[in-house]
Structure 1
Amino acid sequence: MLRLANPVRRYAWGSTHALPDLLGTVPDGRPQAELWVGAHPAAPSTVPGAGRALDAEVADRPGAVLGDAARLRFGDRLPYLTKLLAAARPLSLQVHPDAARAARRYREEEAAGLPAGARRYPDPWHKPELLVALAPTVALAGLREPHDAAGLLQALGPRVGAGLRDVLDALRAPGPAEDRVRAALAHVLALPAATVRAVTAAAAGAAHGGPPHGAAAPGRPSPADPAPCDLGAGDPAAGYSALGDPATDPHRLALGLATQFPGDPGVVASYLLHPVALAPGDGLAVGPGVLHCYVAGTALEVMAASDNVLRAGLTDKLVDPAELLAVVDARPGPPAVLRPPPAPVAPGLLRREYAAGADEFALAVLDVDADEPAVVHAAGGPRTVLALSGAVAVATARGRCGLAAGEAVLVPDADGAVLLSGRGRAALVAVPGVDR
């Protein structure tokens, strides 16, 4: 197996303490946003024993590392990327394309010779994602029913309503809900900063004056929203919980977004989305076209290894509302929140399977309290084991490796079955449907 050294990405939205706390390192006062575990060429893990990057190791030994079945489906590359994410500020409001559009638009941009900074599609792959909270985490995902969104915006008052007339008219127009939501989103993304600031001021009044008509009372979730969780002061999400429960008060959540991105249309777009409060262990599956934003928290994230992101706001990166509107799935509905029950697989070993429906990856989180190694994955393909807490040992027919929290190994196809022992929790990421 390949023990990995994994790079930390320092984005401005990262927490200064969450990743160091998890990894047992000393904070240096600068944001640490993501720990990348994989072979993505932008920041590959390294294999200290081989003295080179993991993507080079995969390229040199694709048969041994990936196995024939995974290579046939995805080529000579590791098809997934695993991350630890620590957000103290919101990530961008974004969607990901489906596989067909990603391949087609990539070919078109290649043929046009677009430079890297102007490209929307840097690779030909889609990017399904799965987020599993390790601490209380706040997100926005999935679009509201048009009448619900209209009620929330109208409750901000008649002066604000005049500035949002096109948005409200679109939400209340006749026709399919999907068309109404898409039209409203288009108007929102074109709002001037002055209108966004007026919405922010009204949201501040609504937030501190109690929930307006159409919003759930604090502490009482609406039927469409997941149950709220307590966001403690030590969590990156604490700045949002201080304003109230973001899962039940969209006005307070919008106000929190506006403190980071004043005048950004994404502040108003948040009213069109479902707020989601994820307790530790809750998962959020994000498929093609799902408009979403990770607001704050600490989480495990697994995704297809792609950089195809179309942004709508809450960012200083490239924003392309027209392409986003062409990709977004505007069908209203709550997001897919996963709460799998633990299942015993061996003495001292419990397994939670997160069914994200992705072809590139499958995720299981394992609680381990066992002295004797037990098989947790008998099929083939590349397998990543990332320790999340405690100390676990990974064994195969070819060796054994101990892992502390934040440490990881890649188990090649050629190593056979994966076994775990120890006292701790670990994530196991594999390519689904690959047999030896």
Structure 2
Amino acid sequence: MSVELLRNAVRPYAWGSRTTIPELLGRAVPAPHPEAELWMGAHPGDPSRIAGPDGTERTLLEVVEADPVGQLGERCAGRWGGRLPFLLKILAAEEPLSMQAHPSAEQAAEGYAREEAAGIPRDAPNRNYPDPTAKPELVCALTEFHALAGFRDPHRTMKLLRAVETPGLSKYTDLLAAQPDPDGLRALFTTWITLPQSALDELLPEVLDACVLHIKEHGEFDAECRTILELGEAHPRDAGVLAALLLNRLTLSAGEAIYLPAGNLHLYLHGTAVEILANSDNILRCGLTPKHVDVPELLRVVDFACGDMPVLRGERDGRMSVYRTDAPEFELARAEWAAGETEEIVLDGSGPQILLCTEGALRITTEEGRTVELRRGQSVWLPASDPAVRLRPCEAGPAHLFRATAGTFPD
């Protein structure tokens, strides 16, 4: 098998866009229902499909399971038990997602074993750990992309809280002021997400009114206040609205990325992005969702380290820009050709790869001389056993490519 086009599943979550993914795939716009994610990989829930020479199809999951060493390479297959360790997505957020964090490898393994021993079905709505693996992720903007991620520096957060202070909010601001560090953030966050509903119903309207006033007065926290109002309108009685006051508010331009390691509390707000993540379903939700929220388990997982959230722009390696992280499951790289550029690049076959075209069209040429055209919205699978391939634009216009591979890890 060599350079095979993938047919990928679309996930129709309510927060998705009715135009972004259909337009990317060349389908009619708008779609009848929101389309939130396009999955590329071998996740058991919705694996990509590969057409065989006789017209039949197999899932990428079946292909990998039939020949893990040939498809993944000996090191990758050994390290990840014959599983493709990453999942690549197009994410199209028209509305905010839930606020969430993901466990470390050790937390996931322990939590999975605990829930297995308790006999909780893996598909139960109150299951926190349906698998025993970590779920780091990286999101790279295709359009302007808005997110909340990581705890803001407490001194900056105190300035925000003072700017929207109300009689009911002042005691919580004082709580953080008495201990402006990760432990103080933990204390305030824990207090807020465990408030009785009656206390929330008094405090939240005060905070929302104060945010409206701050915007009218052209205060410096305009973006933060608009986000709180958006979340408060969608989830009027949810403690997650208060928790959002503690997180960094980010606006990514196309090509910029953020890495969400274990414990990072985050919330994607709006925009289109390429997302790469470990092949796991472990999510601990904080709020802004009707789904299960396990507060004690969330507090075990969340990392309260604070400060500005690093924005990654990729390290240049020839024409490729590589988004380097400490995640052993994945690595994401991006290549762009401007109008009129035709430079060829060579991609080695050292591990499993998924190539995704997000603009223009590209021609892939194998060592045997076979060519595959990769158009916007299309992706291909390159097994580890394949030799290097050559890649270049096949039209005069601009072309953009994303390359997903396994990360680096020690022997």
Q: TM-score scaled by structure 1?
A: 0.85
SS for the counterpart of 1:336 is coil
Measure how far apart 1:314 and its partner are. 1.2
2:382 paired with 1:411: yes
1:190 counterpart (173, 191, 194): 194
**Aligned pairs (5 A) from 1:25-424:** 25-27=27-29, 28-49=31-52, 50-115=56-121, 116-117=123-124, 118-161=126-169, 165=171, 167-174=172-179, 177-191=181-195, 192=197, 193-194=200-201, 195-211=203-219, 215=220, 246=223, 250-340=224-314, 342-343=316-317, 345=318, 350-368=319-337, 373-375=344-346, 377-397=347-367, 399-422=370-393, 423=395, 424=399
State percent identity of aligned pairs.
39
Measure how far apart 1:153 and its partner are. 2.0
Q: Choose 334-343 or 366-375, whichever is displaced more.
A: 366-375
- Contact 1:197-1:263 within 8 A present in 2 as well: no
* Structure 1 counterpart of 2:185, one-letter code: V
Measure how far apart 1:371 and its partner are. 5.2
- Contact 1:381-1:434 within 8 A present in 2 as well: no
Distance verdict in 2 for CA 1:68–1:341, change over 3 Å: closer
- Contact 1:160-1:202 within 8 A present in 2 as well: no
- Cα distance in 2 for residues equivalent to 1:415 and 1:372: 22
* Structure 2 counterpart of 1:133, one-letter code: A
SS for the counterpart of 2:182 is helix
- Cα distance in 1 for residues equivalent to 2:112 and 2:231: 32
- Contact 2:166-2:207 within 8 A present in 1 as well: no
Aligned length: 391
Runs of 4+ residues deviating >6 angstroms: none
- Cα distance in 1 for residues equivalent to 2:341 and 2:163: 55
Q: Choose 184-193 or 7-16, whichever is displaced more.
A: 184-193
- Contact 2:315-2:324 within 8 A present in 1 as well: no
- Contact 1:89-1:260 within 8 A present in 2 as well: no
- Cα distance in 1 for residues equivalent to 2:38 and 2:28: 15
CA deviations 1:385-432 (Å, max 9, x no partner) are 011110012233353321111111110011121321115111011123
Q: TM-score scaled by structure 2?
A: 0.90
- Cα distance in 1 for residues equivalent to 2:166 and 2:408: 55
Q: CA RMSD in A?
A: 1.9
- Cα distance in 2 for residues equivalent to 1:355 and 1:63: 25
